[in-house]
Structure 1
Amino acid sequence: MRTKNYWMALGLFLFVFGTVLAQEKNVSGTVTDQEGLPLPGVSIIVVGTSVGTQTDFDGNYSIMASTGSTLRFSYIGQKTVERKVGASSVINVSMEEDAQALEEVVVTALGIKRKPRELSYSVASVDNSALTKTRAVNTVTALAGKVSGMQINTISNGVNPSTRIVLRGNRSLLGNNQALIVIDGFPADRNALDRLNSDDIKEISILKGGNASALYGSDAANGVVIITTKSGTGKASITFTSTAQLDNISFLPELQDEFGVGGFPDGTIRPLENVAWGPRFDGSLVDASEQYEDGRVWKVPYSPIPGNHKSFFQTGSLIRNGFEFSGGSEKSSFLFSIDHSNIEGTVPQDKFNRTNARAKGMYDFGNLQVSSNISFYRSHSNTVGVGGHQARPLYWYLLNTPLHIPINQMKNWRTGEFTRNEVSYYAFYENPWFIIDTQRNKSNDSEMIFISDANYKFTDWLSALVRVGYTKYTYDLKEYHGGLSYSFELPVTYSRIDEFSPSTRDYIYNSSRFNSDFIVTANKNLSDLLNVKANLGHNIRMTDYKVIDITGNNLIIPGFYNVSTRTGELQGSETSQNYRKVGVYGDITLSIGDFLFLNGQGRNDWSSSLSKENRSFFYPGGGISFVPTDAFKGLKGTLQYLKASFSISKTGNDPGPYSNSTTFSAPAGFPFGSTAGLTLSGTDRDPNLKPEFTKSMEAGIEFGIFKDDRLSGSFSVYQTNTTDQIVPIDISTTSGASRLYTNLGELQNQGIEVDLKGTILKSEDFSWNLGINYSLIKSEVVSLTEGVDEVVVGGPYSDNIAYGAVVVAQKGQPYPLIKTTDYERDDLGRVIVGEDGDPIPSSDLIVQGKTTPDYIVGLNSTINFKGFSLYAVADYRTGHVFYNNLVDALEFTGLTKHSATSGRQPFVFPNSVYSDGNDGYIENTNRLTSGGGNAFWSTYNDTKSNYVTDATVLKLREVSLSYAFENKLANKLGFQDLNFGIYGRNLYMWRPADNVYTDPEFNYNSGNAVGFGTQNQTAPVRQFGMTLTAKF
């Protein structure tokens, strides 16, 4: 009997199981909007499982589901739809607009998600697609032109460019002005976004104003860039992305090609000279080398070689491959990604490779939700360094190679027939190929970021979050400089650089950062009309770093770069720093009828970088937001949405560690044998140093016009005033110091921001979306301390004032300004010349202009047709100037175009006048300069205003054309999704006629003295690539 029952039960089980299996089938259909147009990207999941898919460009989908299961259709801006699977295998869905859902939530301070209507300040968002269309390895460069109020400068343009992000202008005269970078709630260092894998990013939120960022503390005084990384969703899937890219030099400085090598003062040809002050090119054969020991001499035609300098560069390349494995359900999610980039630069032998890896997971236990996120970054760089007997950058040596010398024939400098020497063919600078081979910087840097949080929900309106983050960053640099020794003797009639020994330097930087937040959140409806949202939190932040820097000179083993093989004293230093800050903060928002929002917030910090008396500082803020289109329903029509807002806030910015402490350093020449020594810093510190405080006010309007917000935008005006600026001032040396680091002065910024986006054309298969952003920024140094009208900000030289070009902050003027040596001028700005026809130099440095733009305009365009998408980004900057040190260098070599315009003969100096003997001036039409050769242009070179140019620039930054294969075709090929695209970056750059030399966006470092370009940046590049993304 038992056996019979067993077989009956088994048969019944198999029947039921087989019936269930038979009921699982392929369900397909089309999803449309309320107008019947297909909706691409609609998320479809089988409720209660991790099975999911998305609609293709035509709104079609296909998914495996069992009879009786439920399909959930969700899409931003549309009401969620659920449909039960029945007998039919076709389920078509028409979705309806959800006015509330149309307001996408944005990530604000501390990772708090809010609807834009609730905010009393401006927040900009950039999604993943806008960051990855042109596959920028450095994510920061992909933000340019896409956000109003954001200025991005490129510090170096090599294989691993660094960047500078400033929001709404500079707030501090000498302190940090860069935005805080926050990754998944963890405040990282300001270079972290440079290192982040763009494919890992879900979206970026930019908080520009003080009220938006105050909860992050003093680190956020300059605004915040919040990065939210991706999480796994839906059915487990694998995504593979592969990119190949080529880089080419877009342009080189325009040079004169009439005159060749020659010396001064007579201007006759001197074959072994590097400067071009000789006679005109005539095609005759001239010496291009020293006489070798067997009597041979390298001879070349005395004619400019077209493209000679450009031929020195190579075509750069990028190979980038990324892998992502992710998935999720309503209860849990996971994601693992790895991305590797291998880059070869346009400078020969320059290489850079980087690897990013990330693992992220979340599990919802019900009342408790836990997530963790760990990422790794590792890179290796091998680039040419500053070197040679004058420690010059490569670009200097390249531009000092005359136009008639075939530069690539000097590549084999060790054994070449006519280039067998290290100093090229001439007597004053090394061969660029020698610099490439023997002056190298090899670096490795790595970073680990770990973030974990736990959110416990006590009730449906009360929860608590604990978030802990830690990062460890290491950078080590091996810098080496090959020595110079000659392979043969020269006749005494020739001169050459003195031989020098090799050297090496080891630089190691280690830093760590810890951050923890404990936040209690309440979100409660007090009535049908009233809702209150409140956050109360505690924060601890600790940072530290240590630097060891060691140099060994006179190495005894050629090609073996180790400080142990030095002779003489080892040169070295060690620096360490620790910093801690504790803060408490609160934020409360009262909602009335979901159309009026009142917000208040405050934070108090205790900083270890300030004295006990000033260590604690508080800064409050508040704002109001009103949505009249919801308050007064009759307003809705053509105008679908309108919001008005106002906010006011105060944020503190404490100084760096030890800013109020006396410091010592090892003076030159010490240690001397066994005798060590320290010297007191020449800058004294004010023990009563206080934080800088920024008061911000912002008013704005946001609107949406026509159905589906066919045209939407925002308009903001703001003002920031930063007081108690921390700067050094000159003091009497009787105190033992020459400067005092103290609080003084006030800097004001005022601005307007406009963001517009709209759908210009739309049909079933075609759409054209256009976005425009505009920024106007005006600044003024309102005050400095009594008796001080100007503070030096900096520049690229050890003594910028003596050099003749310096960035300053000047009372009553915009910030920052550049001052240079100049000529005496009349009231109309015309140059005054003397009786000899030469310009009369001014005895003072003269302000030439502001080095940050007044206006920035960005344009974004996306045209979609069926599966094709054409995307473009351009921007325009104007209202500022740029000091071009590169032209300064070319003047020395005699290669500037203007130095040849008069045929090297005396000429009437342009736009010049001379005295009429009384108080007037006569336009100069007949007084010729004292000469037109090297003597005149060397004097001209001393007047640095000649190299200040209009920094206006228009750039076509990005263009991409991609094709998303239809789901049916992709599925036939074995993929869920398949996308292929081609792209270009930096395809076009327009500059004013007086800048024919370089990109005015370049800057010599990431500090506040912007507006200096140097030879450390090589030529700008344009990039072309293609990318394939396949999802399995």
Structure 2
Amino acid sequence: MVKKLLLFFVLVFGAYPLLAQSKTVTGTVTDATDGSPLPGVNVLVQGTTTGSQTDFDGNYSIEAESGNVLVFSFLGMKTQSVTVGASNTINVSMQEDAEQLGEVVVTALGIKREEKTLTYAQQTVRADELTATRDPNFMNSISGKAAGVEIKKSSSGAGGSTRIVLRGNKSLSGDSSPLFVIDGIPMANNKGGQPGMWGGVDSGDGLSAINPDDIESISILKGSNAAVLYGSQGANGVVVITTKAGKSGKTTVSLNSGYTFEHYLELPDLQFKYGANGNAKESWSTTPGDYQSSYVEEFFQTGHNFNNTVTISGGNDKTTAYFSYGNITASGITPENKYQKNNFTFKQSTKMFNDKVTVTSSVLMALEETKNRLPAGYYLNPLTGLYMFPRQRNFYDFKNNYEVFDNDRNLFAQNWFVVDHHQSNPYWIVNKQPKTDESKRIIGSLSLDYEISEKLKLQVRGNYDYAVKEFEQQHAATSNSTNVHPKGAWDYRKYDDQLVYTDAILSYDTDLSDSFSLNGVLGASYQKTVYGDGVSVGTGTIGLLYPNEFNFQNLPTNVQVSSTYDGSVIKQGAFANLQLGFKEMLFLDLSGRNDWASTLALTGNDSYFYPSVGITGILSEMFTMPEAVSFGKLRASYTQVGNEVPFNRINPQNTIAGNGGVDRNTVKPFLDAKPEIITSLEFGADWRFFQNRLGLDITYYSLTSKDQFIQVPLLQSESEGGYTTKFINAGEITNKGWEITLSATPVQTDDFQWVTAFNFTNNTNEIVDIGPDDDKVINLGSSEGYQSKLVEGGAFNDLYVLKFLRNDQGQILFDAGKPLRTPTTELVGNLDPDWTLGWNNNFSYKRFTLGMQINGKFGGNVFSQTESMLDGAGVSQRTADARDAGGVTVNGVDQTSGAAITTVDAETWFRAIGDRNGVGEAYVYDRTNIRVNQLSLGYNIDVSKLGLPISAASLSFIGNNLFYIYKDAPFDPELAMSTNQNAQGLDNFNLPSTGTYGFNLKVTF
């Protein structure tokens, strides 16, 4: 009887779901980051015990009713709830939950730590933030996304380099760039040649070899406190790049394909109303006309950028693999400027010996070719002739016939209206003076991880980074005679850079008791870097044997093919880190590294120890906080580390001159050298409120850099052996500043979310001591009205220019009707901003996403030699306005007679203050600018309705550097003429700033 009753109840209640229209719901759960399937995801019908799990390929099947809510949960992912509707298929894409993961971040040497335990400032930029707008150089995408990071893009066009500085300039004679690290291993980021005020070409940098689609995340370790384990290499901070790896489960194939077009944002304000007097080169006629203007805009073309990456990822619980191929094909906004890059990446990881040993290998190969990057400066720059062309002439006579046949010389010659030291036919330059850069780079690495025990692990890594670079520029006969021989000229360089690195790291992680934890790291490293091993030749004004034959066989006998300036540096280091934790609320961090550097060989000072100590306390764990406080901690750290010792400082060598002779070294060997020492003190606070929907991270830092490498003249008693100068350790620089990040999620509902973040930076630089020089000045270079120099009591990037000579009342002094200028340059400002702000916003509504970034730089100054030259030639709009107004209104006085001067003839005024060696004060502008820097509008496609084997797909509109909200300067202050340390904020016929717009499609199979 009992069995019959049980059978009755089973039948009744078993049929109940059928009466409620139960059905089978199936689908696939994927990782939102890369679209890969997620095995082991729990799927539960809310309010019931009915549940399921995804299989190895991320698939699941569960019985549910229409109106039921399915809850998807997985460790490290945000739990999602989806209501069952009419469809029997529900696919879910899950997002990472940083809070659930304990916010694990990648730190020095690739070591992963919980963010709450760090004693220093660190910020992470995710992969989707790097690739959202498809900038070919991924570092440009970081601008405004992290506090304390200064990024400037080269003005050279497609394939140009990028300048990155963390927390200000720190070295008087060296570089202030951070160390770049891939998967824990240092990489070379050597820059080639850089332009100056008179000319030159940007030769790119090493960062361009990395495919942004291969990057998982970037951790920015801003201070030496965070980077002390890298020793002197990490003195300027470290950018830690973690690349993607294969994932176990179903093999996934992803395509990320983008197209953007590029257009200039603005051109100089030029006049086309007044031409030249007669056959003059300058346009100073006072008779108005209606002259051609369209040729300036026609010179600039629409740039195109095709950016495609295919990735394949998969594996099982023992072996995973990742492969990607990336291609960029781009053309710039100037004729014949082209950029081509092919990336190949393979990464494989295998577990063996009962998962105790993991072997990981990777290979990255990059092939790059760049043609006709635009130079900066006066010479061999097509923009000089384009902008300054006399208005009454017909430009199209020279555009359409940029070369004409010279019967006397039996060759095609440049067609231009004048032989001038800085003007050439723009179309001759881009077609008959071609420049080509080629780079082939391969980075191979191998690591072995051995889990000795649950607490003790050993990692051994090796890396080989090899790059071959080739540069060629041909100058056809009849090019600019100031720089080029009448028979033409040839510049050629081919050299290779190599970096060999290996390290061994032993790590120990344990709980000493219920209250205390210990995490220790002990290791050693070896690194050898070889710079510029190759050949070079440059004929310059010596010329060629026969016109327009550009090869080694056509070199005159007095032109020497010489070895490039090569050298090798070896660094060896031993390092240790100990972190003690108390009840997950108080952490003490001790680090130390000893470096042995070959650059200090022969000095007796080649061994140096660098210590660091830090402490962090999680106040929200120590004390009872108000309900609104989700998390709160304070941190402090102190570090002393040496800066990189520049190569060839200790024992400078003779070099081979271009004519085959020897340039004798005149710098005395520096046999008692010490490394520059940077002492860093940092305090910070990290607070989060309202269940982590509001966050505030504040850091104050103070850096002092001493024992700079300064070159000084020898005393007469020291001038022996032909030496005239020597290096000394002297000088002191300080950088003090604030970094503030305010993040918030103001709105969060089931369908809509708004996440916003502000990154604020202020850095104050001071040159405290310049060394024993009586003048307390180090001249870095000058250029006709502008001077770059370091002055004790001043700051890096102080701006010195010629000014108007004024009396005590501020009136401009005149002589013979012309304004006077100061005999020497004077301080007028600083090229660095007072503070910067990046405002990042991300909105999501159902399947739509919107990302927008606004960047602002406030304060500081910039200088434009372009505007000075345009004024001197009478081609700027302001010179036309002055002619229309009958002259320039001034507040002046004749220095002899004392007579007031209120109006000056336009030509007299602008010839006096403009052109070369003009009054630079008139061409100094406020650097302040605010712009919409990035924009992306995307839609996540519902792939379940496509009936295709696609697991995820998205389509987005993307844009970079879209428009200015405010700007004072007549050019883009954030576009660098050169990415060298002392050439920021300067404009000398720079390429116009550009904006990019386009579309991107991402599909995962």
TM-score range for the pair, normalised by the shorter chain length: 0.7 to 0.9
Which amino acid is 2:734 matched to?
A: Q
The residue number in structure 2 matching 1:872 is 852
Does 1:444 pair with 2:434? Answer: no
Q: Which residue of 1 aligns with 2:281?
A: 274
Distance 1:477 1:116, change over 3 A: same
Contact residue 121 and residue 699 of structure 2 kept, 8 A: yes
| CA positional deviation for 1:316 | 1.1
SS of aligned partner of 1:217: helix
Q: Which residue of 1 aligns with 2:577?
A: 587
What is the identity, as a one-letter code, of the residue corresponding to 2:586? L
Instruction: Give the corresponding residue for 1:394.
Output: 382
Q: Which residue does 1:490 correspond to in 2?
A: none
Which one-letter code corresponds to 1:690 in the other structure?
A: K
Q: CA separation of 1:158/1:243 partners in 2, compared to 1, >3 Å: closer, same or farther? A: same
1:247 aligns with 2:220: no
In structure 2, the partner of 1:56 is: none
SS at match of 1:745: strand
Does the C-alpha gap of structure 1 residues 754 and 242 become closer, same or farther in structure 2, counting only changes over 3 Å? same
Structure 1 position 367 matched with structure 2 position 356: yes
Q: Could you tell me how far apart the structure 2 residues matched to 1:415 and 1:939 are?
A: 28
Does 1:626 find its partner at 2:617? Answer: yes
Per mean C-alpha deviation after superposition, the further-off stretch among 148-157 and 1002-1011 is 1002-1011
Separation in 2, partners of 1:571, 1:93: 67
**Aligned runs of 1:411-810 on 2, under 5 Å?**
411-413=399-401, 422-428=414-420, 429-484=423-478, 500-545=486-531, 546-552=533-539, 554-555=543-544, 559-574=548-563, 575-610=565-600, 611-632=602-623, 634-635=624-625, 637-667=627-657, 670-671=659-660, 677-707=661-691, 709-732=692-715, 735=719, 736-792=722-778, 794-795=780-781, 800=782, 803-810=784-791
Q: 1:882-897 residue pairs with structure 2 within 5 A?
A: 882-897=862-877
* Alignment match, 2:340: 353
**Equivalent residue for 1:814, pick from 795, 810, 814:** 795
Q: Which residue number corresponds to residue 195 of structure 2?
A: none
**Cα distance in 1, alignment partners of residues 918 and 95 from structure 2:** 71
Distance 1:244 1:60, change over 3 A: farther
Corresponding residue number in structure 2 for 1:380: 369
Paired residue secondary structure (1:834): strand
| CA displacement at 1:665 relative to structure 2 | 2.5
Amino acid at match of 2:923: Y
Q: Deviations over 1:664-692 (max 9, x none)?
A: 22457x43xxxxx4243343342211100
Aligned mates of 1:693, 1:937 — CA distance in 2 = 44
Is the CA contact (8 Å cut-off) linking 2:939 and 2:955 kept in structure 1? yes
Task: Name the CA shift for 1:394/1:524 in 2 (closer, same or farther; >3 Å).
Answer: same
Describe the superposition over 1:751-778 as per-residue Cα deviations: whole angstroms up to 9, x where unpaired: 0011111112121111111111000111
1:229 & 1:393 partners in 2: Cα distance? 39
The aligned counterpart of 2:924 is 948
Structure 2 CA distance for aligned equivalents of residues 47 and 223 of structure 1: 39
Q: Any conservation in 1 of the 2:440–2:467 contact (CA below 8 Å)?
A: yes
One-letter code of the match for 1:595? M
Contact 1:837–1:908 (CA<8 Å) still a contact in 2?
no
User: What is aligned with 2:273?
Assistant: 258
Letter of the 2:472 partner, please give it: K
Contact 2:517 2:582 in 1 (8 A): yes
Give a deviation string over 1:234-287, Cα, whole Å, max 9, x none: 42111112211111121111123332123xxxxxx32xx4321223332xxxxx
Tell me, in whole angstroms, the C-alpha distance in 1 between the residues paired with 2:479 and 2:698. Answer: 65
Separation (CA, whole Å) in 2 of partners of 1:700 and 1:678: 55
In structure 2, relative to structure 1, the CA distance for the partners of 1:547 and 1:247 (3 Å cut) is same
Query: CA 1:170 to 1:604, structure 2 compared with 1: closer, same or farther past 3 Å?
Result: same
Look up the match of 2:980. Answer: 1007
Contact preservation (8 Å) 1:384, 1:394: no
Deviations 1:683-735 (A, max 9, x none): 3342211100100011111111112x111120110100001011212334661
Q: 2:883 is matched by which residue type in structure 1?
A: G
Q: Are the structure 2 counterparts of residues 498 and 319 from structure 1 closer, same or farther at C-alpha, using a change threshold of 3 Å? A: closer
| 8 Å Cα contact 1:328/1:334 also seen in 2 | yes
Instruction: Measure, in 2, the Cα distance between the counterparts of 1:96 and 1:247.
Output: 33
Supply the AA of the counterpart residue of 2:935. V
- Measured in 1, the distance between the counterparts of 2:578 and 2:376 equals 58
Aligned letter for 1:350? N
What displacement does 1:963 show? 0.7
TM-score by length of 1: 0.83
| Of 228, 236, 258, the match for 1:222 | 236
CA distance in 2, matches of 1:730, 1:1004: 31
Q: Within 2, Cα distance between the matches of 1:387 and 1:820?
A: 20
Tell me how far 1:571 sits from its aligned partner: 3.3
1:365-421, CA deviations, whole angstroms, 9 ceiling, x for partnerless residues?
A: 211111111100001112167699x94212212223234555455333268899x96
Q: CA deviation at 1:95?
A: 11
Shift of 1:905: 8.3
Please give the secondary structure, in 1, of the residue aligned with 2:584.
Answer: coil
The answer for the alignment partner of 1:28 in structure 2 is 26
Structure 1 distance, partners of 2:405, 2:596, is 69
Structure 1 stretches of 5 or more lacking a match?
1-24, 33-37, 50-58, 82-88, 263-268, 283-302, 487-494, 672-676
Deviations 1:95-138 (A, max 9, x none): 99999625320100000111111001010000011011111111
Corresponding position of 1:296:
none
CA gap of 1:114–1:905, structure 2 versus 1, over 3 A, is same
Q: 2:868–2:915: 8 Å Cα contact kept in structure 1?
A: no
Could you tell me whether the CA contact under 8 Å between 1:781 and 1:811 is conserved in 2?
A: yes
Matched residues in 2 for 1:455 and 1:1026: separation? 42
Distance 1:261 1:76, change over 3 A: farther
Residue matched to 1:1026: 999
CA contact (8 A) 1:838 1:930 kept: no
Distance in 1 (alpha carbons) for counterparts of 2:34 and 2:544: 63
CA-to-partner distance for each residue in 1:410-464, whole Å, 9 max, x for gaps? Answer: 333268899x962334454432111121001112101101111111111111111
Bigger mean CA offset, 183-192 vs 437-446: 183-192
Match of 2:319 among 305, 309, 332: 332
**C-alpha distance in 1 between matches for 2:803 and 2:158:** 37
Q: Which residue of 2 aligns with 1:266?
A: none
Contact 1:731 1:738 in 2 (8 A): yes
Q: TM-score, normalised by structure 2?
A: 0.86
2:941 corresponding residue in structure 1:
965
Matched, 1:167 2:166: yes
| Alpha-carbon shift at residue 1005 of structure 1 (Å) | 2.5
Look up the match of 2:841.
861
Deviations 1:855-910 (A, max 9, x none): 01001111111111111112111221122122233234222333333318885654
Residue matched to 2:84: none
SS of alignment partner, residue 612 of structure 2: strand
Letter in 1 for 2:753: S
Task: Check 1:357–1:865 CA distance in 2 against 1; reply closer, same or farther (3 A cut).
Answer: same
Task: Provide the rounded CA distance (Å) in 1 between the counterparts of 2:95 and 2:476.
Answer: 71
Q: Percent identity?
A: 26
- Say whether the 8 Å CA contact 2:487–2:548 is kept in structure 1: no
Alpha-carbon distance between aligned partners in 2 of 1:98 and 1:226, rounded to the nearest angstrom: 21
Partner of residue 988, structure 1: 963
Query: Letter of the aligned partner of 1:644 in structure 2?
Result: L
